[in-house]
Amino acid sequence: MRVLLSTYGTRGDIEPLVALAEQLRALGAGVRMCAPPDDEFGHRLAGAGIELVPVGPPVRALMRGTTPPSAAELSRYRTELVDAQFDVFPAAADGCDALVVAGLAQIGARSVAEAAGIRYVYTSYAAVNLPSPHHAPPPRPGWPEPAAHDNRTLWELDARNVNAQFGEILNARRAAIGLSPVDDVRDHVHTGRPWLAADPVLGPWRETPGLDVVQTGAWTQVDERPLPAELVTFLDAGTPPVYVGFGSIGTSPDVVRAAVEAIRAQGHRVLVSRGWADLALVDDRDDCFALGEVNHQRLFREVAAVVHHGGAGTTVTAAGAGVPQVVVALPVSDNPYWGSRVADLEVGAALDGPAATFESLSAALETALAPETRARATALGAEIRTDGASVAAGLLLDSLR
């Protein structure tokens, strides 16, 4: 059997599919992956022995700077990505028995699977991305902010926005390959039985009529890489530091400076992860250390707290390490949702990213660094599952046999 995987996004979107690919291959299936053509993704997949089929423009260029692309730019990128999927996916799916996609950006995938007569599975990394009266839709950059407050109404407006963006181009491309039009693009992409690749304790799904969600657990894999020698030396030189990193999200240098000052005021040393924004140290004091790509599973076990943007991968890694978190969430995708989960579970605090200040960060850190928060984070770490990718691989291959 052969499976085609597909996503379009940052490393947080790629890594779960790499974990799934590893489990599929362990069960004897062949795997290839459609992903953005960024060099780092190409190197990552090549190192894992996964064939890359590049689709769309490089993602890193879209994430440049501290401000997101304009609404017009995002609309153009989204339209071009649908065309790219219909152009690339048919050949990529040739010889495959299933197509597993992650993220709403996979607008053309189900149509290609339908035309090829192969199994299609839609996956979300966070419950907030799936329609439910229990929560509002996540922020959609470039689309108008709805004026309603009722969750059901908000999801109806969200469906209209998705249709307005993708309906015409999707149905034109479907007609060109002999498929009938769809009325609701979002629900067409999701299907009535989507998978949720999120930990059931950290990010549970609440039953919703009309949607039969299969929650597998988060798709992760064990990282055995050692920490760099210079980092180990810094860690050994004093008490556990606080980690600050925003991954692929561009953030204001003022937020980083405020975080460093707030951490120092709490009497802790600081680790600053450069990330895609290439964050730098705010000064040359020896209580700060700047780091690049490292093993977060191992590092987070050595720190006092993790300050981050609220990405699904960082949140579950910190939770699994049993470390308190401070989520400084920008209004993008599922980041505010993961911040709310950290706060609801009382394993840290959540802030509105653009409004974060020294004062608000100090209060959040005081909460996160309290002994009782650490105790709750440690207890949560013991409950985080690590078999999500294995569960998903088994479900998929069983359904194909």
Both 56 and 183 in a single domain?
Answer: yes
Tell me, what CATH number does 144's domain have? 3.40.50.2000
| DSSP state string for 146-201 | P---SHHHHHHHHHHHHHHHHHHHHHHHHHHTT----S-HHHHHH-SS-EE-S-TT
pLDDT at residue number 66? 52
pLDDT at residue number 73? 82
Both 390 and 377 in a single domain?
Answer: no
Q: Which domain holds residue 174?
A: 2-221+386-400
pLDDT at residue number 152? 96
Q: In what order do the strands lie in the sheet with 348-352?
A: 288-291, 270-273, 242-244, 305-308, 325-329, 348-352
- Cα(18)–Cα(49) distance, rounded to whole angstroms? 10
Strand partners, 234: none
At residue 206, what is the residue type?
R
pLDDT at residue number 139? 86
pLDDT at residue number 64? 61
Both 53 and 190 in a single domain?
Answer: yes
List per-block mean pLDDT (blocks of 10 residues) for the chain, which spans 401 residues.
Answer: 96 96 97 95 93 92 65 86 97 98 95 98 98 94 82 95 96 98 97 98 96 98 96 97 86 84 96 80 89 96 97 97 96 92 98 89 98 98 97 97 88
pLDDT at residue number 331? 82
Both 207 and 248 in a single domain?
Answer: no
Both 215 and 361 in a single domain?
Answer: no
Both 59 and 80 in a single domain?
Answer: yes
pLDDT at residue number 127? 98
Both 106 and 177 in a single domain?
Answer: yes
The C-alpha angle 293, 299, 300, rounded to 5 degrees, equals 120
Burial bucket for residue 2 (CB in 10 Å: 0-12, 13-18, 19+)? middle
pLDDT at residue number 70? 80
Q: How many domains does the chain have?
A: 2
Both 184 and 253 in a single domain?
Answer: no
